[in-house]
Amino acid sequence: MFAEDDLPRYAPDAENARDRLQGMLDKMRAAASWPWKPSTVVLYRESVWPSLLGKLADETEIVRLRSEMDAEIARLDAAV
């Protein structure tokens, strides 16, 4: 009935993912303690951040963002 070529292809929106990650990272950097309630932090750690990072194609960018996020996570965790 449907030819495989007629189906829309999913293409992750890397620009949107990059913007969202950078916005969250900026918010983390500006905060003295976690800027979100604990349940939101858990959701971000377990689901949102890995999903957004997975939408980026450039491995160097992924490693850089993950490293910057890990530094902020450690700082904010220590502030609790």
In tens digits, the chain (80 residues) has pLDDT values of 556 666 666 666 899 999 999 999 999 999 999 999 999 999 999 999 999 999 999 999 999 999 999 999 999 999 97
pLDDT of residue 52: 95
Taking the model in full, what pTM does it have? 0.81
Residue type for position 70: D
Which residue has tokens 């449907």?
2
Query: CA 29 to CA 26: how far, in whole Å?
Result: 5
What residue segments make up the domains of the chain, in order of their start? Answer: 12-78
Query: CA 18 to CA 49: how far, in whole Å?
Result: 11
